[in-house]
Structure 1
Amino acid sequence: MRTPKLVVVDLDGTVVGHDTAHLRPSRAVVDALAAVRAAGVPVAVATGRALWSTLRTITDLGFTEGLHVASHGAIVYDIAVRRAVHQQHIDPAAAIAAYAAADPEVTFAIEYESRGWVTTTDFKRDFESVWLHTLDLDALGATRTPRLVARVPSLNPYGVGEARCPRAQAATDGARLDTTVYHAEVGFNGWTDVGPAGATKASGLDRVAHAYGVTAAETVVFGDSANDLPMFAWAGHAVAMGQAADSIKAAADEVAPSVADDGVAAVLRRWFP
């Protein structure tokens, strides 16, 4: 690929490791992304994270402007003006009922505006985030949201092993969601994100690229997980991180060193020394 006109990075497993606590990006990655921006090429984050968590790491990366994608494409956020320029929501009630029928141990959470998580009382709050109040299933289902989380017990570790948790995948298959309404992203460790139909990192990035006057073919993307596959297919050049599952690497045009070895920085130096 020639020098890209847009650089896109996932967060967890790409610029920081997978962890339940807040991690800061390395100096090598911060400097590499600064070199891209100094060359006049925009950098966008595309993450499955909720907005409040996304903004924390964007700040750590040194960004003060630009368009960024959160919640698997349901939100596009302009950091310079501190507001969402695109946002999609779902009515989660039907999805809640479908998952509850598919797996009796499922628990739920929703993104509440840009403020934090609202959960059922049995949802494990076992990672660092912003936790708000609890609701019963009826009240949770009546609350519009960019993202519903359906979580089942899992022995699949976060960020390693299979790209999709088998039990979460089974629950999602059993739920048989209406794909004209919902899009499900099955994660590593029992966690499935349910958002609006058509909302993926690729759909969010298509909006970002259009705003910058850049095509998908002129874009390089970095990622490590199953939710990165839509943007891998969309972009002109897709880079998988070295620690990613084989199925993710197989979908990429290139495999970088791992996140622990600053793989994003290593690849970007080719174009932005």
Structure 2
Amino acid sequence: MDCPKLVVVDLDGTVVGYDTAHVAPSPAIIKALASVRAAGVPVAIATGRAVWGALRTVTDLGLTDGLVSATHGAVTYDLARDQVIDEVLIDPAEAVEALARADASTAFAVELRQRGWRHTANFSRDFESTWADVVDVDTLAATPTVRLAARVEATSSYGTRLRCPAATRLADSARIDESKFCVEVGFNGWIDIGAAGVTKATGVAAIAAHYGVDPADTIVFGDAANDLPMFAWAGHSVAMGQAVGEVQEAADEVAPSVYDDGVAVVLKRWFP
């Protein structure tokens, strides 16, 4: 493609490595994104993380203004204004009921605005995050939210980057109404549930519209299945070198891995 007019990067597995604790981006990545911005091209973030989980890494990347698409496209956050400027809420009750009926041991959490995770007592707090409160299932199910998270005991690890078989079985057996909900099966026993039709593609499209940039002039970087919608939307998509085959095959280009600063390597083509 010609020089991009908008650069969009995922966080985990794209500009930082995989970890449940805080991981800082490399100097090469920070410099590469600074070069993009110095050329007058906006840099945006598209992440599955909640806003509160994304901001520390975004700050480490040197970004103090611009837009972040969080929660798989359900939330748009303005860094300069330090506030959410758009969000797509769901009523999680129907999905909670379906998942609990399929497996009574399912643990649940919902994003409670900027307060953190509201969760059931059996939801494991085994990762670094922000925690709001512990509630019963009925209270949780009655909480409007941008995301419902369901967890079961994992049968695959986060590092494999493969959808967890146990979570996949639960999602399939729950038969969640996909005309109402978008269901994203994760790697370590997680299922993320948001509004139907809301993906990283819709989040990035809103950011591009904000800047007046066409999809053809947008480059996106990612490493996971939840990046596939924005790969299909963007003019040029780049998969990270450690991504699984499904993700690499969907991209226009495969970069070196996150551990080899693949984003920086590709961006040097236009922003030395």
TM-score by length of 2: 0.98
Give the letter for the 2:178 counterpart: T
Q: Alpha-carbon deviation of 1:159?
A: 3.4
Could you list the structure 1 runs, at least 4 aligned residues long, displaced by more than 3 angstroms after superposition.
none
2: CA distance, partners of 1:136 / 1:209: 40
Mind listing any 5+ residue stretches in structure 2 that lack a counterpart?
A: none
Query: C-alpha separation between the residues in 2 aligned to 1:182 and 1:29?
Result: 35
| Distance in 2, Cα, partners of 1:86 & 1:225 | 24
**What is the distance in 2 between the residues matched to 1:213 and 1:110?**
33
Determine whether 1:200 maps to 2:199.
yes
**Which has the higher mean CA deviation after the structures are superposed, 131-140 or 97-106?**
97-106
Quote the offset at 1:187 in angstroms.
0.9
Once residues 233 and 75 of structure 1 are traced to their aligned partners in structure 2, the CA distance between those partners, rounded to angstroms, is 20
For 2:190, give the aligned amino acid. Answer: W
* 2: CA distance, partners of 1:102 / 1:35: 50
**1:136 maps to 2:145:** no
Identity over the aligned pairs, expressed in percent? Answer: 60
Whole-angstrom distance in 1 between the partners of 2:96 and 2:161: 27
Q: How far has the Cα of 1:166 moved from its partner?
A: 1.6
Task: Give the SS at the match of 1:159.
Answer: helix
Q: Is the 8 A contact 2:9 2:46 kept in 1?
A: yes
Would the aligned equivalents of 2:90 and 2:147 in 1 still touch at CA under 8 Å? yes
The reply on whether 1:183 has 2:182 as its aligned counterpart is yes
Structure 2 letter corresponding to 1:221: V
Q: Deviations over 1:159-203 (max 9, x none)?
A: 3242x1121111111111122211111111111110111111100
Conservation of the 8 A alpha-carbon contact between 2:167 and 2:191: yes
Pairwise mapping of residues 113-132 of structure 1 onto structure 2 (< 5 A)? 113-132=113-132
C-alpha offsets along residues 128-178 of structure 1, whole Å, 9 cap, x if unaligned? 11122101000000011100001111131113242x112111111111112
1:6-85 maps to which residues of 2 (within 5 A)?
6-85=6-85
- Counterpart position of 2:215: 216
- TM-score normalised according to structure 1 size: 0.98
Alignment root-mean-square deviation, CA? 0.9
Q: State the SS of the aligned residue for 1:177.
A: coil
Matches within 5 A, 1:138-153: 138-153=138-153
How many residue pairs get matched?
Answer: 272
2:158 partner SS: coil
Between the aligned partners of 1:127 and 1:53, the Cα distance in structure 2 is 11
Check the 8 A contact 1:105/1:153 in 2, yes or no: no
CA contact under 8 A between 1:109 and 1:117: conserved in structure 2?
yes
